[in-house]
Chain A
Amino acid sequence: MSKYDDLVAELAPRKFTKLGVSWTIGLAIVTLIGIAAYIDQIIKGQIVTNMRDYVLWGVYISNFVFFVAISFVGSLTAAVLRLTHKTWRTPLVRIAEIIAFAAIVLAGVTIILDMGRPDRLLNLFIHARLQSPITWDVVIITTYIAISALILYIPLLPDLAILKDKFKDNWTGIWYKRLSLKWKGSVKQWAIQKKSIKIVAILIIPVALILQTVDAWLFSTTFRIGWDSTNLGPYFIAGAFVVGVGGLISVTYVLRKVYKLEKYITELHFDKLGKMLVFACLVYLYFNISEYLLPAFTAPKAEEAHLRELFVGHYAPLFWFVTIGGLILPIILLIFPWGRKPKVLFFIAILVVITSWWKRYLIVVPALLHPFLPVQGVPESWHSYFPSMHEWAIVSGTLAAALLIITILVRYVPIIPIHRTATEMGILPNDKDEQS
């Protein structure tokens, strides 16, 4: 069994190196600055933001949409790959689920940051009104948090049992033991686990689709030019697919490098992920054309003004950066096999994630600057919007917090499923196939 011990040693969570520690501390500091800025916002009111009566939603909401979007693939690809029994998924699935979990938790937090009266949060339940898209959002986000946690946790049980033995002289061992829920790997336990995973994996697909759609409906249930579009649901789903795969590639690349997992996460995996990304980008391109190009042909005056602002106006540099950098360039580069080599792919993925973040900003902000009636009788500064220092601090705090959750999970959870890898490598008997 020495081969098995080697494997466990290689895949079990490891203590942070110096670099890991400073990275974690850095994230914690950024998060704390965000919390401090938020406390200040609570005290002074949202006057500390640059949102005003016309641009009534800003970077908080676009950041929220970003988190919701990136949480999509984590679970959906994971679930789809599970259900289609693709074995190459094994080293990627857990990373995807960790990202999804961290992102959706922060999405929930971010929406609270935007509320004028977070102290009345419970009103969302006490006085909930079913016809409001925000109520749908509350229901679906909490559901998604629960399901993401389950789809991360249930497949983890066999590994927790392995780790319990490995770290038995350590305080972590106690926790692994508690969390492993007396996992012994009996036939009955495997049967229950397999069934539970299947249920959750099936359940998460509609829930993830509804989540993205409801998120889109937050906008398309209003009359606003640029939001009032039936295209928005699928457009958001496609966009979530893109940023999700982008996020997965980025995190996977970093972990592979830091933990030297080249043996388990090979170029083949990156090639497959690259193909997924280009496919996602192509679908997204299609929806972008329906969202921006098609309306340009029949645009009434107000819509034309909105589109002009994006194509050649104030937001044009950002719009083209996002469109070319986040969509067209990846499509071109990823068609070539060298574009799907880990390093190149990593840079493309990072670009995709950054442009996706700004893309959400472009969906939220410019539409608010073009109300039906002219903007009059308000201070000149209200005619435009760019986030304030408080908003940047808070948003950076949420992004750092998401990375912090990922980092902590990576520290204590085997990012590559140990038991499953062992089975697939033939180190452990394969009698309970498809168990995770």
Chain B
Amino acid sequence: MKKSDDKSRRSFLNNGLTIGAFSIISGSLIASKLFGNDEPDEELVEVMTTEGDIIKVPASEVEEVPKKPAYNEREGFANRKFVMVVDLAKCRNALKCQDACNKHHYIVGDNAWLKVYKMQESEQTAPYWMPMMCQHCDEPACVTVCPVDATFKRRDGIVLIDNEQCIGCRFCMAACPYSTRVFNWNDPEQETALAEEEHPAEHSADHCGHPSIKGTVDKCDFCPHSIDKGELPHCVAACPNDVFLFGDAYEDTVTNGSGQSYRLSELLEEKAGYRLMEGLGTEPSVFYLPPVDRSDAFEDGLKEYREFNSVKKPEEL
């Protein structure tokens, strides 16, 4: 498994997006790099080869491709397939992911989009903590049943909601087997949450909850607004235990909050990754690694556990 040395949280997407945003001028440079002919005094930048290896090349040899390919919020990023891996072995219900998600999506309702479930299949089996968010299925039941094309799937694998088109029939919520969709039963009281915003919020499917709209559905959006800035989704960045890894299946790379990158296929192979309710055929984009070899007792997570509350009120924060 290849790990990059750089621990910066931005590195994942810099690695990823370089393919689109930069091109290496001299073809021979890669060869010289691989064979070790470094020119040490020049400033180096990281790029990822088509093999997925991270290499450093002199900045002068790298040219910025000026324009990002035209991005359409309904179509998504070209040639990308976003995936998430959740390592249950590391989760201790710290709930930093939830706090970050709630904060950055201005969630003020009573039901968070990211919840850490206290799971125990039966009395004979071990309990564990399981972060749950939209699974961004490749065969999304919600998209199939939506009568007005308000919830849609993009080519980069992300399932989003156009809250300006949604009629609030809630059929998608009935259809979702993962219960991850949340309805705005009243006018969301986001004034204080959004007040910190520099720009007045203008709705875009790209940033769910910014703002939320009464009578429509919200859910985890995989943070395309962060990806666009070259950042990791808020939950991934916020987790102190590196439970989440986010990345691109085409590049076969996922990166955790500490900036360590892994081969997706190797990770799933080595740790026996699986997806939830595989039998339903929804083909989720979120993979789980089983809760094995846990360093912390399950009970440690109970401190933070709140059965009836997933969104902290301002006074609790």
Known contacts A132-B145, A134-B145, A379-B309; A47/B167 CB under 8 A: no
Contact of B146 among A132, A218, A371, A375 (CB under 8 A): A132
With both chains docked as a complex, state the minimum distance between the C-beta of A131 and any C-beta of chain B, in angstroms: 6
A-side contacts of B184, CB under 8 Å: 45, 116
| A306 CB, min distance to chain B CBs, angstroms | 14
Q: At the interface, yes or no: B260 with Cβ under 8 Å from chain A?
A: no
Contact A115 B169 (CB under 8 A): yes
Asked if B240 is at the interface of the complex by the 8 Å CB criterion, the answer is no
Q: Is B166 an interface residue (CB 8 A)?
A: yes
Q: Is A222 an interface residue (CB 8 A)?
A: yes
A52-B185, A134-B171 known; A377-B308 Cβ under 8 A: yes
Q: Are A222 and B277 in contact (CB under 8 A)?
A: no
Q: Is B17 an interface residue when CB atoms closer than 8 A count as contact?
A: no
Q: A132-B146, A372-B178 are in contact. Are A123 and B185 (CB under 8 A)?
A: no
Q: Whole-angstrom distance from the CB of B208 to the nearest CB of chain A?
A: 15
Chain B, 233-276, CB within 8 A of any chain A CB = none
List of A residues within 8 angstroms of B187 by Cβ? 45
B298 located at the interface, meaning its Cβ lies under 8 Å from any Cβ of chain A in the complex? no
Q: Mark A350-372, 1 if CB is under 8 A from B, else 0.
A: 00000000000000000010011
- B169:A224 contact, CB within 8 angstroms: no
Instruction: Give, as a whole number of angstroms, the nearest-CB distance from B293 to chain A.
Output: 24
- Tally of A interface residues using CB under 8 Å: 48
Among residues of B, the one whose C-beta sits closest to the C-beta of A120 is B167
Contact status A45-B186, CB under 8 Å = yes
Interface of B is mostly: loop
Chain B residue total in the interface (Cβ 8 A):
46
- Would you give the shortest CB distance from B177 to chain A, in whole angstroms? 4
- Cα-based distance from A224 to B215 in the complex (angstroms): 23
**What is B's interface to A at a CB cutoff of 8 Å?**
110-112, 115, 117-119, 132, 141, 144-150, 165-171, 173-175, 177-179, 181-187, 214-216, 277, 280, 306-310
Q: Are B169 and A114 in contact (CB under 8 A)?
A: yes
In the complex, A429 has a CB within 8 A of chain B: no
Q: With a CB–CB cut-off of 8 A, which chain B residues contact A49?
A: 185
List A residues 126-151 near B (Cβ within 8 Å).
Answer: 126-129, 131-135, 138
Q: Please list the 5 inter-chain residue pairs (A to B) with the smallest Cβ-Cβ separation, ordered nearest first.
A: A116-B168, A116-B215, A377-B310, A134-B147, A47-B186
Asked if B174 and A56 make an inter-chain contact with CB atoms under 8 angstroms apart, the answer reads yes
Beta-carbon nearest neighbor of B175 in chain A: A222
Partner of B167, one of A124, A222, A380: A124
Q: Which of A56, A121, A134, A376 contacts B173 (CB 8 A)?
A: A56
Q: B147 contacts which chain A residues (CB < 8 A)?
A: 124, 128-129, 132, 134-135, 138
A1 at the interface (CB under 8 A from B): no
For B132, B168, B280, the residue with the greatest tally of chain A CB atoms inside 10 Å of its CB is B168
The distance in angstroms between the C-alpha atoms of A44 and B178, with both chains bound, is 28
- Tell me whether A127 and B310 are in contact in the complex, defined as CB-CB below 8 angstroms, given that A372-B277, A374-B117 are known contacts: no
B167 contacts A44, C-beta separation under 8 Å: no
CA distance A124 to B169 in the complex (A): 11
Interchain CB contact under 8 A, B306 and A117: no
Cα A372 to Cα B130 with chains together (Å): 14
CA–CA, A57 and B174, complex, Å: 8
Near B by CB (< 8 A), chain A positions 75-124 give 114-118, 120-121, 123-124
Q: A45-B186, A45-B214, A133-B145 are in contact. Are A127 and B165 (CB under 8 A)?
A: yes
Q: Is A117 a contact of B309 with CB atoms below 8 Å? A: no
Q: Which residue of A lies closest to B164 (CB)?
A: A120
A44 and B148 within 8 A (CB): no
* Inter-chain contact B310/A378, CB cutoff 8 Å: yes
CB nearest to A136 among chain B residues? B147
Query: Which residues 40-66 in A have Cβ within 8 Å of B in the complex?
Result: 44-47, 49, 51-54, 56-57
Closest A residue to B185 by beta carbon equals A47
Tell me whether A392 is interfacial, beta carbon within 8 Å.
Answer: no
A379 and B148 alpha carbons, distance in the complex (Å) = 30
CA–CA, A345 to B173, complex, Å?
42
**Chain A residues in 8 Å Cβ range of B168:** 46, 115-117, 120
- The smallest C-beta distance from A383 to any residue of chain B, in angstroms, reads 9
Q: How far is the CA of A47 from the CA of B187 in the complex (A)?
A: 9
Interface centre among A46, A57, A121, by most B CB within 10 Å?
A: A46
Please state if B146 and A378 are interface contacts (CB–CB under 8 Å). Answer: no
CB-CB under 8 A from B111, the residues of chain A are: 52-53, 377-378, 382
User: Is A336 interfacial (CB 8 A cutoff)?
Assistant: no
